[in-house]
Amino acid sequence: MANSIHSARFLMESRQAEAAMDEAEALYDLGIACSTGARGEAVDLIEAHKWFNLASVAGSLDAQRCRAEIAEEMTAREIVEAQRKARAWLSQRTARAA
């Protein structure tokens, strides 16, 4: 069990590293993991929306569809929080690049 948790954590960290380079597929994969509980992650629609939003900006049409689907299950406040988190993630990434 501990080995599978370690593997799941490693996969999530590696996808986040790729996501930091605006790789739409990595951003999308993080959204899927958060929305379904895949890779050992707990279901978190706010995080999923954030990742799908970022993947959409990077050009993923699948992410746009998934973002719309989970938004139907979220409150307006949760969507605002997800959007705030997406902006913060972009700001942090931009600050590191400077």
Identity of the amino acid at 32:
I
Give residue 16's pLDDT.
62
CA–CA separation, 1 and 49 (whole Å) = 28
Give residue 2's pLDDT.
43
Q: Is the pLDDT of residue 56 over 60?
A: yes
**For the chain, what is the domain count?**
1
Could you tell me which residue, 45 or 95, shows the higher pLDDT? 45
Whether the Cβ atoms of residue 82 and residue 51 lie closer than 8 Å to each other: no
Domain carrying residue 9: 2-97
pLDDT digits over 57-91, tens only? 999 999 999 999 999 999 999 999 999 999 999 88
Q: Is the pLDDT of residue 38 over 90?
A: no
Four-CA torsion 67, 69, 75, 81, nearest 10 degrees: -10
